[in-house]
Amino acid sequence: MLVGMTYDLQEDYLDRGYGKDEVAELDSPVTVEAIRQALVSLGHEVELVGGVMPLARLLTEGRRWNMVFNFAEGMRGLAREAQVPALLDAWDIPYTFSGPEVLALSLHKGWTNAVLRAHGVPTAEFRIVSSVEDVDAVDLPFPLFVKPVAEGSSKGVSDKSLVRDRQALREVCAHILDTFCQPALVETFLPGREFTVGILGSGAQCRVLGVMEVLATARGDACAYTYANKQEWRERALYELAVDDLALEAAEVARAAWQALGCLDAGRIDVRLDVLGQARFIEVNPLAGLNPESSDLPILCGKIGLGYGELIAAIMESAMARVEKRGAGKPL
């Protein structure tokens, strides 16, 4: 089977003048090559495509694939992750992972929280701050936690994200509005344990791969899984499998969120315990990082004995099952 691979490389955007922090969500050649090798080992012919612009060019030139392994993050706009799958839908080409509607929704943390709360999935109380003037209308009790509404890889999350008074709230929100050119998400701070839950599969067929607790070392920021902790994970973070009752509760919250959002194939959901020890959804990653050395999902899979090649094979199997189910000429 001919498989195209769509992705965005950090080095391509660095060469265009973007800063290191701006491209933190994007991938490295290590990830691309690891996925390519895994697909080749499954017997597929693989073509490296790249991001939305080369994809658009190739599509208009008439190029087609039996399947696209899509992990392109995009760079511009609040729907940047949705651009590649939207194009593939328009050309009726199947692909891995969630569709454009899910990726557009899930990138916006505030909208995601609103949808999940409507489905009965517990989240932190939250407000969206679109201007500095909105800070005065935030009516949640301190302490609060503040982060960009539509960033991944913990971008914009630091030890300053935990705020204890309105002046600090105003300063952090102003920084996010100015630096990221997007609203700030203000949430009731969840002081308990933090878990990341690996999910494999789609809909009612999805299953929890495992629950991994995210901890900080003495060098790390203890308030959250911050950008610094994530970037320097070997020195600042610890990952441990968790199987106790609270971890199982986190797994159930993650499963409910995955199904409510309609996420496909594989990904991660982050869950944190509130002041009463109850598990609450904090974030979904339907395009989870796949760096075999440093991304959370492969790290979790390694801890449960699921090899990297097996993970890629399972993702492909899930996507192919969807193709077989739809029938010729019908939408996914």
Spatial distance between the Cα atoms of 278 and 125, rounded to a whole number of angstroms: 13
224 within 8 A of 161, measured Cβ to Cβ? yes
Rounded CA gap, 312 and 332, in Å?
Answer: 20
Q: What is the pLDDT of residue 251?
A: 98
- The rounded average pLDDT for each run of 10 residues, N- to C-terminus, in the chain (332 residues) is 96 87 88 98 98 97 98 92 97 97 96 98 97 96 96 84 96 95 96 97 94 89 74 85 97 98 97 97 96 95 97 98 72 42
**Cis peptide bond upstream of 143, omega within 30:** yes
What is the rounded distance in angstroms from the CA atom of residue 291 to the CA atom of residue 323?
Answer: 26
Q: How far apart are CA 195 and CA 270, in angstroms?
A: 6
Per-residue pLDDT at 331 = 41
Largest CA distance in the chain: 58
Provide the whole-model pTM.
Answer: 0.92
Instruction: Report pLDDT for 159.
Output: 87
Q: Which of 267, 268, 324 is nearest to 94 (CA)?
A: 324
Q: How far is the C-alpha of 204 from the C-alpha of 264, rounded, in Å?
A: 11
pLDDT at 216: 86
The DSSP H or E segment spanning 186 is: strand 184-188
| Strand stretches in 67-143, DSSP E | 67-70, 126-129
Count other Cβ atoms within 10 Å, centred on residue 199. 27
What are the chain's domains?
Answer: 2-96 (3.40.50), 125-188 (3.30.1490.20), 194-322 (3.30.470.20)
- Joined together, the tokens standing for residue 253 give 């919250």
> What is the spatial distance between Cα 77 and Cα 200, in angstroms, rounded to a whole number?
28
Ramachandran category for residue 181: left, alpha or beta (phi over 0 → left; psi -120 to 50 → alpha): left
Which among 149, 147, 52 is positioned nearest to 106, based on CA atoms?
Answer: 149
> What is the full DSSP assignment across 62-80?
T---SEEEE----SSSTTG
Closest CA to 150 of 283, 275, 48, 16: 283
What local confidence, expressed as pLDDT, does residue 328 receive?
45
What are the C-alpha distances in Å from 203 to residues 196, 256, 262, 301? 19, 10, 6, 20
